[in-house]
Each structure stands twice: as structure tokens, then as C-alpha cells.
Chains A and B, each alone.
Chain A
């Protein structure tokens, strides 16, 4: 009996201790996909949270980082745990679109603002009332597809072919690209699909080449984007090849090698910050982040930038919210949401101008056309 009492007392004291620290500090709950299929995106994001300062606006900040293994269910579990047990003031995550979409309900129920690091515009769709609580940092596919269409038009392209993943990423890009291409007066004359793990894409590539498009867009993320590119070059395709910003990582350059030369892709300005004019406000912010990142973790990744931009948004919103309420309270979370909605922040991927109708806030300044030249990213002026 005595023993049980002791245990209860200890447990009470312990939980009181936890609750006390939670009330005093700002708690930021993070869930990223550091393992699983999206690991190459999630790892640089996770690394970025190691670099962040532990105070914002004079208050101590606890970064609680969890891994969801690119798994939707696990991401929701993480979100529930962070809101329920850690009493976080704001939720960051996840890395990929399906996981982020699934977390929306949890964030709304907990009345906790959430900043996603995934691409799809649906995450912050203003038509959905739930997205009042949701923000996101990466550029939407639509913004990037427009950039490709503009670049294609400038190069005199009138017909294009598409080869992309046979999954949500590939289909999403195809839909966006068709819309953008139509606006630019470009016809999509061939559509092919392939799988990340295919040993050969010869059939698809031969069919693409047979349709004779002026340009080909490859809708893939990471190193698998190199497979059709190498095949197109090997089969002597002479038109322009475009990639999406999903391939903007050093592993892609390593695998594609010299076959990548001349390829164009849209990317956030941080990828080529050295080549930006000094007048571009993004340059200084990106330089600060990338120098710090590359010193500790090696080559930059634009995905880490999405995590850093989420921090920059918090860095501007938290001092505003602190004026209205104490961290750890419902009022603070609501004040933080209001402050995020008014944020106007220069970040590594562009300038965020949030409004009640636009919870992404990025515009044309958030995309640059980049060319691959001998294993380097070169800004197209």
C-alpha cells in the first residue's frame, strides 16, 4: 500500500515537473520523414533543426523532433503525441504531402497552428475551412510548372512530352503541367509513366522520341529522375530536357553525371544563392543558413531550406504572439496563428507574404530557372 502511494506521489511530482517546464517555454513539435522513401528529403530537414537557436523573442524554445518514416499513420500519431503529451504551441511537418494532409485534422482539433514542409497546394487550399490553422513553406507545384512553361515558351517550344512517376507525384505534376502548358500554348503530345525502381525505361523513351516533342519534362524526385534522362541522351534525343525541383539534390548530380548537361529545372533561389545579384534580399538570408548548414552537414539541400523557412516564419510570428498571451495556453496558439497569417518574411526560398487567402505566401521571387552544367547548378538569367 505504502509502495503504491509512493509511486503515485512520485508520478504526480514528476508530471507536475514536466508540466511546469512546458508552461514556461515555447514548445515546437516537429515530425519529419527521416527514414522511408522520403528519407533523402527528410534527413536535411532534420539536420536543419539541429542548427536552430534555442531562444526566440527572449523566450526559451524546445524543438521536439520526431521521425514518421514517410508513413501517414505514424505522422498522425506523432502529431497527436506532440499536441497531447508535449503540449506544443506549434506543429511543424511533415515532409511529404499525404502525411501533411492527414495531420490537418489533428492540428485543427488541437487548435494548434501547423506549418507543413510538403509541396502540394491542397495542404493550404483556402476553400477548405480547416486550413485556417495550416501554413506551408515549399513552393506549390503550380508555381513551378508555370516557370517551366514560361521557360519552354521562351525557348520556342510548341510541343512537349512528359515522363513521370506512376504515383501521386508524377500524376500531380502531369495535371499541373498540362494546365500551365495550355496557358502558354504548348501541346502535351506524349505521356509516359515509369516506376522508381524500373530497371529500364527504353520502351517509354522510344515512344516519347517517336512523337518528336520539342521538349521533354521528367516528373520525378531524387536519383530516379536520372533514369529517363540517361536513356533520352543514350537514344540521341536532341530536344530540351526539363526536370522538376524534386531532383535538386547532390545525389542526382552524382548519378546523372555528364548526361545531365543542359537540363533545365525550376528551383528555390537558395540553390544558387551565390549567383544572385546582391540586391536580392534572399541572398543574405540563404548565405547565412547555407554556410551554417554546409559547415556541419556537407552539401546543401533545398529541402533543408523549407525547414529553415518554417523557423524564420516562427521567428517573426512568436514575438507578436508573446505580446498577447503566455506560451502553453490556447490563447497563445490562437495569437500565433493570427501572427503567422500576417507574416511578411524574407527567407531562403523567397519572400513570404501571408494573407488569409494565401497560407503559402510565395510568389515569382521563389523560383529560378537553373541549368545543370558539368555537375553544377547554374542560374539562368
Chain B
């Protein structure tokens, strides 16, 4: 093991770690605001890559149909809610929001996909479509039980994970896909070669993390989300709607996941069932951060990436074992250093 190998492994670990870090941030965000452990986040990543790969071949690959179907369900739920509450005034607006917008996105994708638009437009379409799935899933699956215990929300997440897995096989097929690289440039740096692709992944992740930090510290909506994360009841008393906070959180979470999907597409072959393992590694990072600290979660995810890359060199057959065993000392350390407190329900 000499310097170039160490450098290559480190580069590989940091690239994957950057993707896991984004996922860890999404998981922490979603958990802090809505108390949902977002198991299906990995499926959003896989959907991101596979939708982009489908668009590359000029196919809308089922994502349009899925959006449309979910828009109809969400619309019906809004109507049912209005009828039950005998409150028809806001119905037109909420219908436009929950059914109109996703249907419009689905229609655009359906009609634009066969035209084979430029790569950048394809990426934008992918991000929009996968991001739109986030709030729709929140509306359909989580919002009606938003006040339930963490365990119930977790069980719903697991159910959603399997649903999305099945739908993924149906929409995208059993075989994997790759997207073309964004850049084939590479930089020589002494004995070390850094590929432009990895650099791009790391830089994009950093930019996204920075943008999220700005959003949470400088904007009203960001602060509202932070307030909800700190104290749900207090935030509600201060006039922040928990439904709104949940919807916004899932939109952001889905956006981050879709970004991950677009970023890893050129580095690896993605299958309909690839997402779970990726999100699990992001989850290990998030756990290191105690599901609450963003910087520690990002650092933890980076550690997971590096550990994975070096253990695949030393003992490839035990790679996953080593990565997931990491969680045991972390949990031990956390339970010894932090005071346990019952969740206030």
C-alpha cells in the first residue's frame, strides 16, 4: 500500500462520503422536524438516477404515471377533508397545489421526454419530478398520522420503503443503469490523479450543504423549520403550521435525495433496489450525529465513506460488516456520554 493507492482510496471514500453526508443531512432534517425516520430516502436516490437514465433514452419511465396517480390520491384526500370539515373555501387552492402542480409536472415530463432535451434540462426535470414525490408522500402517508409516536411513523416508513421498492422494479425494470459523466477531466497532482467527476460530486455536496445552512440561518422559512425542530408545540403557538413545516421538510429532503441520485449516476450502476444500502450508510452517519447535529452527521458520513473504501481494499468480503459494526461503539459512546431522556409526547 503506497501513496497513490492511499490517495485513490481516500478520494473514493470522500466522494462516496459526500453523497452519504447529503443523505445524512436529509435524514437529520426530516427527523428533527417531523420525527419520521425516513427509511425510503434511498429509494428517492435510486429514482433520481433511474429517472435521469430513462430520460436519456427518451423515456418518461413511469415516474410521470406515478406522480399523476399520487396527485389524484392527494386531491381526493383534500376533497374528503373539505367535505368532512364542511369547509369548502380553501378547497380550490389546495386542489391546485396538491393535484394541479404534480399533474402539471407529470404532463411536462411525459411530453418533453421523447424530445430528448439537452442534458441540463433532463437533470432539472429529474430533480423536479423526484422532489415533487416528497411532499406528496408526506401528504398521503405521514400527515394524517403526524401526531403518532416515533415507532408508528417508523413502521409507516418501512411500509413505504417496500412499496417504493416494488414500484421501482415495475417502473424501471430489474437491470441497472448509469448516466454519462458530467466531465471526463482529471487533474494530476504529483503522483495523485484526481478525477473531475469526484471533485464535482464533493463540490456540489459542499455547495448544497452551504445553501442549506444559509436557508436555515437567514430565511424566515428556514428559521420556522428550526423552531419546529426545537419545540413543536412552541412553534405551533408562535403560528408555525406543523403541516406546512412537514411539507417543506419533505420537499427539501426529497430534493437533496434527488441531487444524490443525479450525482452518483455517473460513478456507479444504480438498480431499483440500490437505494436502501446507500441510505443505510447515510443513516449510520446521522446516528453518529445523534440524529440532531448536522456537522457531526456530515463528518460521520464522511467517516463511513472512508471506512468503506479502505475496508474494501483490506477485506472486501467483510466490507459491509466492518461499516455497520461501526454503529455499535458509536451507540455505546453516545449512551454513556449523553443523558437519556424520555421523549415528550
A residues whose Cβ falls under 8 Å from a Cβ of B? 35-37, 39-40, 43, 166, 192-204, 206-207, 210, 222-224, 226-227, 234-235, 249, 251, 255
Contacts and interface: CB of A to CB of B under 8 A. Distances in A.
B268 A193 contact: no
A202 B277 contact: no
B227 to A, nearest CB: 36
B301 to A, nearest CB: 13
A223 B269 contact: yes
Interface in B152-211: 169, 173-178, 195
Interface string B263-305: 0100111010110011000000000000000000000000000
Interface stretch (B100-108, B117-125, B213-221, B309-317): B309-317
Given A193-B316, A197-B274, 9 more contacts: A199-B278, A202-B8, A202-B312, A203-B311, A206-B5, A207-B316, A222-B176, A249-B175, A255-B269
Contacts of A227: 268-269
7 contacts: A37-B174, A199-B267, A199-B278, A200-B267, A203-B9, A222-B174, A234-B195
Contacts of B78: none
B310 A224 contact: no
Contacts of A222: 174-176
A200 B309 contact: yes
A210 B16 contact: no
B176 A255 contact: yes
B5 A201 contact: no
Contacts of B312: 194, 198, 200-204
A35 B165 CA distance: 13
A255 B53 CA distance: 11
Interface string B4-22: 0100110010011001000
B320 A195 contact: yes
Nearest to A210: B5
Contacts of B19: 199
A60 B173 CA distance: 35
Contacts of A196: 271
Nearest to A201: B312
Contacts of B176: 222-224, 251, 255
Interface string B141-158: 000000000000000000
Given A201-B312, A207-B313, A40 B174 contact: yes
B12 A192 contact: no
Interface string B307-329: 01111111011011000000000
B113 to A, nearest CB: 18
A195 to B, nearest CB: 7
Contacts of B310: 203
Nearest to B274: A197
| Interface residue tally on B, bucketed by range | 35 or more
Contacts, number: 97
Contacts of A37: 174
A206 B268 contact: no
A200 B268 contact: yes
A94 to B, nearest CB: 16
Which one of B1, B175, B311, B314 has the highest number of Cβ atoms from chain A below 10 Å of its Cβ? Answer: B175
Contacts of B195: 234
Nearest to A222: B175
Contacts of B8: 202, 206, 235
A36 B170 CA distance: 10
A206 B313 CA distance: 7
Contacts of B311: 203
A81 B312 CA distance: 45
A371 to B, nearest CB: 22
A235 B4 CA distance: 11
Contact of A203 (B12, B268, B269, B271): B12
B313 A203 contact: yes
Given A197-B277, A206-B8, A39 B174 contact: yes
A166 B267 CA distance: 21
Nearest to B57: A254
A102 to B, nearest CB: 21
A35 B169 contact: yes
A235 B267 CA distance: 13
Smallest CB-CB A-B distances: 5 pairs = A203-B312, A203-B313, A39-B174, A202-B12, A251-B175
A194 B273 contact: no
A40 B173 CA distance: 8
Given A39-B169, A222-B175, A223-B175, A199 B309 contact: no
A78 to B, nearest CB: 19
A222 B273 CA distance: 15
A327 B226 CA distance: 74
Given A206-B313, A223-B269, A199 B264 contact: yes
Given A200-B12, A203-B12, A223-B269, A255 B316 contact: no
B198 to A, nearest CB: 10
Nearest to A43: B174
Contacts of B1: 210
A7 B178 CA distance: 58
A36 B268 CA distance: 21
A249 B174 CA distance: 13
A281 B226 CA distance: 74
B269 A224 contact: yes
Contacts of A198: 268, 312, 319
A234 B278 CA distance: 23
B175 A204 contact: no
B269 A226 contact: yes
Contacts of A207: 313, 316
A36 B165 CA distance: 11
Given A227-B268, A255-B176, A199 B16 contact: yes
